[in-house]
Structure 1
Amino acid sequence: MKKFLVILGFIAAILAVVLSVTPLSKIAYLPAAAALVFGSIATYLFKGKQDSKKSIQLIFLMTIIALVVTTYKSVYNTVEVGNTEELLEKENESEENAIEELEELEIDEADLE
């Protein structure tokens, strides 16, 4: 049971670190929270034992790093909007093309019935 929790903690912590440096950094909070939960439960189970606690400390360290990077990116990351005039022109052109194509279609009354 303890090894299973430590393995789940490592997987969640590594996933949190990887997600925190990608553009999907806002999703990194979920595996970070899971890693904290698994690490806390493993700490509680190892409480009375003389087993090595380095692995649990590493889980907490990786989780803290992931949370710091994710928080930093969410605070200091600015979203820039590109040139919207080009997008509006393309939208108008595509709308005009669609109207022209519809006008070129010949619809018989037999097709409607």
Structure 2
Amino acid sequence: MRNVFVVLGFIASILAVILAVTPLFKIAYIPSIAALVFGLIAFYFAKQKQLPRKSIQLIFLLTIIALSLSTYKSVFTIAEVGNTEELIQKENESELDALEELEDIEIDQ
């Protein structure tokens, strides 16, 4: 039973680290919490049967790394909105250019 939770903990913690370094870092909290839960359950079984806990410590380490990266990116990432005045001006210019081109076209019937 312990091995199942260790494997699930590893999968969740590795997924959390991968998501934490990508632009999808806000989703990394979900597998991080799952990895913590699986790690705690595996730790309980290991403590009960006096089994080694190194793999469980690695799960916790990977989860802490993922949580810290996600939190860092959440705090220090600034969403910048571009200058919309330039976009509106370019749109108006392209509209005027299109109208001029349409006026220059002669249609023979």
TM-score normalised by structure 1 residue count: 0.76
Equivalence map 1:1-113=2 (5 Å): 1-89=1-89
Deviation at 1:58, TM superposition (A): 0.2
- Structure 1 position 81, deviation (Å): 1.1
Runs of 5+ consecutive residues of structure 1 not aligned to the other structure? 98-113
Q: How many percent of aligned residue pairs carry the same amino acid?
A: 65
Write the distance in 1 (CA, Å) between the matches of 2:75 and 2:32: 18
Three-state SS of the structure 2 residue aligned to 1:78 is coil
Any stretches of 5+ residues in structure 2 without a counterpart? 99-109
- CA deviations on 1:48-94 (whole Å, 9 max, x unpaired) are 22322110000000000110111111111111111213443566667
Task: Report the TM-score when normalising by structure 2.
Answer: 0.78
Give the Cα–Cα distance (whole angstroms) in 2 for the partners of residues 7 and 86 of structure 1: 53
SS at match of 1:81: coil
Rounded Cα–Cα distance in structure 2 between residues aligned with 1:44 and 1:75:
33
- Spell out structure 1 runs of 4+ moving beyond 2 A: 85-94
Q: Measured at CA, do residues 86 and 3 of structure 1 come closer, stay the same or move farther in structure 2, by a change above 3 Å?
A: same
What is the CA–CA distance in structure 2 between the aligned matches of 1:91 and 1:33, rounded to whole Å? Answer: 46
